[in-house]
Amino acid sequence: MKVYGKSENEERVGSLTMDDGSRRIQNLARRMMVSRACRRADYWDFLWLVYSVFFFIEPIARHNTRYWIEFAVFYVLFLACYSGVVLARQRWVNYACLAAIAVLGLIYYPQNNGATGCIVYVAAFLPFVCESLAVCLGGFIVLCLALLIEGLLLHTSPWAWGFGSFFTFVVGGTNLFMAQRIRANSKLQLAHEEIEQLAKVAERERIARDLHDVLGHTLSVVVLKSELAGRLVAGDPARARAEIADVEQIARKALSEVRDAISGYRSEGLAAEIKRAYSTLDAAGVTLVCEEQPPALPPAEETVMSLILREAVTNVVRHAQASQCVVRFITQDGKPALVVEDNGRGGVREEGNGLRGMRERVEALGGRFAIDGTKGTRLTIELPAD
């Protein structure tokens, strides 16, 4: 038998909460990776084929049937590669098609100076295919050097390869700026979505912890007082009616606390929680010893301390089989601390939802949570110094 362990329902609820949160975060991560790895097909990109009109200038001027046949082969291959760049969803296909367009333009350049437009097309698409700024700039330089070397070797007019190089840098640089800006906006939007999802997961877990602390304690008290009333109903009806009246009052208060937990729980303070602990432990036949007055704490820390005290008392009632519970407020290394210990059976071996919720609350404030189950159970909650 596990002491302070997780019930089957608690394990199921806890795993659902964490798995659901993990799935949401993993889905966002996958969306981010897909958006980076694959370029979305955009049929409006075919509109830019209008600039391929410059390929037709020399064929129209030459009036040569053989030249037109060669040009038709070139243009069909260009269209096929261009479609691959626009439609393919695999990045390596995009790279292969861009490389093919560049090679096709360099091969056809001696017959048609307008083929330098192929190099400009490659520079225009490269920033949207490749995310690396260095690779894109390096690609622009390589394309321009290829035009320069081919122009010098073939002794073509400097105006031909000069204009091609100029527009390669102008068009490529402009698209590089646009692509980087689009990616930055997309990553920012994904980051906002991820933060929103994480906030939802955190809020759901907060509500789960608060409901666990509130309902766990309240239902334990209701069970204890109901059992007590059942034992008293025959011998002491007046006392039994008083206990039933307490059950009704506790149930109404629990309803209010559940509403508070959903909207953001705020405790009534340590003093009220200690008073509630006296009543709860007394109904369970456990003596509470608390000699120190609770320290003055900031609201957030007092709320955490109150909820932890409530959960600790609930665990004593449910699991400890103790006859005495001691609550002490001390100072360790200048830091306020709460110690809750009982003389029960101890034997804490793993954390259930309650203990895990305590630890998460304390660590969220930068404090320390420790548990010792060798002789009874001793909880130490140390908050950060002011």
| Domain at 295, CATH number | 3.30.565.10
Closest CA to 289 of 239, 255, 220, 339: 339
CB atoms within 10 A of CB 47: 9
Identify whether residues 111 and 246 lie together within a single domain.
no
Is 371 inside a domain boundary? yes
Identify whether residues 223 and 344 lie together within a single domain.
yes
- Per-residue pLDDT tens for 12-37? 333 333 344 445 444 444 443 333 33
Taking the alpha carbons of 255, 258, 260, 262 in that order, is the dihedral positive or negative? negative
Contact between 166 and 120 under an 8 Å Cβ cutoff? The reply is no
Identify whether residues 147 and 102 lie together within a single domain.
yes
Q: For position 270, what pLDDT does the model report?
A: 86
Identify whether residues 345 and 250 lie together within a single domain.
yes
- Per-residue pLDDT tens for 334-360? 888 899 999 988 877 677 777 887 888
Pairing of strands 368-372, 377-382: antiparallel
Q: pTM above the 0.85 mark?
A: no
Specify the DSSP class assigned to residue 348: B
Domain count within the chain: 2
Identify whether residues 362 and 298 lie together within a single domain.
yes
More confident residue, 208 or 232: 232
Identify whether residues 362 and 262 lie together within a single domain.
yes
In this predicted structure, the answer to whether residue 65 has a pLDDT above a threshold of 70 is yes
Identify whether residues 45 and 146 lie together within a single domain.
yes
- Per-residue pLDDT tens for 121-152? 999 999 988 888 898 999 889 988 888 888 77
29/22 Cα distance (integer angstroms): 10
Which structural domain, as residue segments, surrounds residue 299? Answer: 8-16+200-382
Is 182 inside a domain boundary? no
**Residue 360 exposure: Cα atoms within 13 Å on the Cβ side:** 15
Q: For position 267, what pLDDT does the model report?
A: 57
DSSP 268-311: --HHHHHHHHHHHHHHTT-EEE--SPPPP--HHHHHHHHHHHHH
Identify whether residues 150 and 208 lie together within a single domain.
no
Is 177 inside a domain boundary? no
Q: Which residues of 10-35 are buried (b: 16+ CB within 10 A; e: fewer)?
A: beeebeebeeebeebeeebeeebeee
Is 21 inside a domain boundary? no
Is 237 inside a domain boundary? yes
Contact between 381 and 358 under an 8 Å Cβ cutoff? The reply is yes
